[in-house]
């Protein structure tokens, strides 16, 4: 048994979650309100996985399996439920989470914003309001009090998806009828909102650097776009709107988070929707474990090889756990190949630790651990033990990279 291309000895092997998707009862957030105003279009997050109370058990399961890192988030709507009113009790809650991770020898990777915001922030204009930088940095200053010994901090999760969601919400508010049904082409994230988010990120990153010794970055939803003949010009424009802008926003950062699930082609009309196929995942995305290799190489090239990469999300929505293992093994094979070609990758954090609330839907299950929605009992899937064994071996074996 030979080891495949060696990964760094301090490589992080872990899993990720976000607060709104696992905690439950995120009452003061804009997402909670949107779910309740959606007239049945969105399922409710409700108690979610009751992760707010059960995080010690979740972390223990990850650590016992052999993982050495856990990415989780701090929920702004809990910490600042009303403008300028900060909850010490909630900050202490997140401090306990950090300490619990440390006690279990899990490296905490802490996200400060993952899609959901306090209602009041959204009501006053959200990311495009002139106050956005002040509002977010005021919250980040408070959070820094509990970040103490945290080494990895993400300011904003998937700003490109946040820009897309903000643009779509604004369009709906202006009366647009957005039909995004199967076969429809997705709009691209608006670059104006993206630029606003870059400003917020830079300001927040400066606050974290000034007040802590953490390595700071943000995480981008990589599309692994590939042009087909005729789509080259549009490809360049779409790559900029989807990723380039955010990669440029990572200039000078300590790391960049790569989040990858699938790959899509670009023709002369734009991104080609994944054709219907029995191989598509439960989110309707094409089964493309090779996307991770494409995403890592594109992110590395876009940042001029100056910003180390951390895979902060990669996974598959499936009810078939053997398929999850196959997908992840193949994705890791592409990660090893990228590292062999000189891409600096610092860790792999699987999405997700738990079967959680997939933003308005419960059916797409991404978890290494199943959660009973009534009793909240956790049942680790074989994929958790499998990923833990890869982590203990510190990567794939040589023969596994040849499969």
Nearest CB to ligand IFM, comparing residues 25 and 129 = 25
Q: Which residues contact 356 (CB under 8 A, 6 or more apart)?
A: 17, 18, 21, 22, 48, 49, 51, 366, 367, 371
Interior CA angle at 295 toward 31 and 365, to 5°? Answer: 45
Minimum CB distance to ligand IFM smaller for 204 or for 258: 258
- CA-atom Rg of the chain in angstroms: 20
Residues that bind ligand IFM (CB under 6 A): 18, 21, 158, 221, 259, 313, 351, 358
Nearest-approach distance from CB 399 to ligand IFM, in angstroms: 31
Q: Are 343 and 293 in contact (CB under 8 A)?
A: no
Q: To the nearest whole angstrom, how small is the minimum distance from the Cβ of residue 392 to ligand IFM?
A: 26
- Minimum CB separation from ligand IFM for residue 358, in Å? 5
Q: Considering the complex, what minimum distance in angstroms separates the CB of residue 403 from ligand IFM?
A: 26
Query: 259 vs 401, which CB is nearer to ligand IFM?
Result: 259
CB nearer ligand IFM, residue 70 or residue 396: 70
319 Cα distance to chain centroid:
20
Minimum CB separation of residue 25 from ligand IFM in Å reads 18
76-107: buried (b, 16+ CB within 10 Å) or exposed (e) per residue? bbbbbbeeeebeeebbebbbebbebbeebebb
Nearer to ligand IFM, 194 or 395 (CB): 194
Give the nearer residue to ligand IFM in terms of CB position, either 217 or 231.
Answer: 217
Tokens of 350: 């699987």
Alpha-carbon distance values, 65 to 11, 202, 312 (Å): 16, 36, 19
| Strand pairing class (309-314; 345-351) | parallel
Q: Which of 110, 82, 146, 150 is nearest to 19 (CA)?
A: 110
d(CA 198, CA 202): 6
* Residue 305 Cβ vs ligand IFM, minimum distance, rounded to whole Å: 25
CA quadruple 125, 127, 130, 134: dihedral positive or negative? positive
Q: Residue 26 and residue 197: Cα distance in Å, rounded?
A: 23
In DSSP notation, 253-286 reads -SEEEEEE---EEEETTEEPPPPP-TTS-TTS--
* 29: DSSP letter: B
- Spatial contact of 374 and 48, defined as CB atoms under 8 Å apart: no
Q: Does an H or E element contain 79, and which?
A: helix 76-79
Of the pair 212, 356, the CB lying nearest ligand IFM is at 356
Rounded to an integer, what distance in angstroms lies between the CA atom of residue 52 and that of residue 32?
A: 15
Residue 35 or 158 with smaller CB distance to ligand IFM: 158
Are residues 357 and 116 in contact, defined by beta-carbon separation less than 8 angstroms?
A: no
If the CB atoms of residues 203 and 282 are measured against ligand IFM, the closer one turns out to be 282
Nearer to ligand IFM among residue 16 and residue 401 (C-beta): 16
């Amino acid at each position: 048994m030979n080891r495949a291309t060696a990964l760094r000895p301090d490589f992080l092997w872990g899993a990720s979650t976000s607060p709104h998707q696992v905690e439950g009862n995120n009452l003061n957030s804009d997402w909670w309100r949107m779910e309740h105003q959606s007239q049945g279009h969105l399922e409710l997050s409700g108690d979610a996985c009751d992760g707010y109370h059960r995080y010690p058990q979740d972390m223990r399961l990850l650590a016992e399996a052999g993982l050495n890192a856990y990415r989780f988030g701090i929920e702004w709507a809990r910490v600042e439920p009303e403008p300028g009113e900060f909850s010490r009790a909630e900050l202490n809650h997140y401090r306990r989470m950090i300490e619990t991770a440390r006690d279990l020898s899990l490296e905490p990777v802490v996200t400060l914003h993952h899609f959901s915001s306090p209602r009041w922030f959204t009501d006053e204009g959200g990311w495009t309001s002139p106050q956005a930088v002040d509002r977010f940095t005021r919250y980040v200053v408070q959070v820094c009090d509990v970040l103490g010994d945290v080494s990895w901090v993400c300011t904003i999760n998937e700003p490109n998806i946040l820009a897309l969601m903000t643009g779509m919400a604004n369009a709906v508010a202006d009366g647009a009828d957005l039909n995004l049904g199967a076969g429809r082409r997705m709009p691209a994230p608006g670059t104006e909102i993206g630029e606003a988010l870059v400003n917020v990120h830079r300001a927040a990153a400066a606050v974290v650097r000034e007040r802590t010794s953490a390595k700071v970055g943000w995480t981008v939803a990589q599309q692994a776009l590939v042009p087909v003949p005729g789509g080259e010009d549009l490809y360049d424009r779409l790559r900029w709107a989807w990723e380039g802008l955010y990669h440029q926003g990572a200039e000078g950062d300590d790391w960049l988070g790569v989040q990858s699930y699938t790959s899509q082609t670009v023709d002369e009309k734009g991104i080609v929707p994944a054709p219907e196929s029995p191989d598509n995942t439960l989110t309707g995305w094409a089964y493309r474990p090779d996307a991770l290799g494409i995403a890592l190489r594109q992110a590395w090239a876009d940042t001029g090889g100056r910003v180390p990469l951390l895979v902060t999300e990669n996974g598959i929505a499936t009810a078939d756990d053997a398929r999850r293992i196959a997908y992840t093994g193949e994705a890791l094979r592409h990660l090893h190949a990228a590292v062999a070609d000189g891409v600096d990758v610092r860790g792999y954090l699987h999405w997700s630790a738990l079967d959680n609330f997939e933003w308005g839907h419960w059916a797409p299950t991404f978890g290494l651990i199943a959660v009973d929605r009534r009793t909240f009992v956790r049942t680790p899937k074989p994929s958790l033990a499998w990923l833990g064994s890869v982590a203990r071996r510190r990567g794939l074996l040589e023969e596994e990279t040849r499969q």
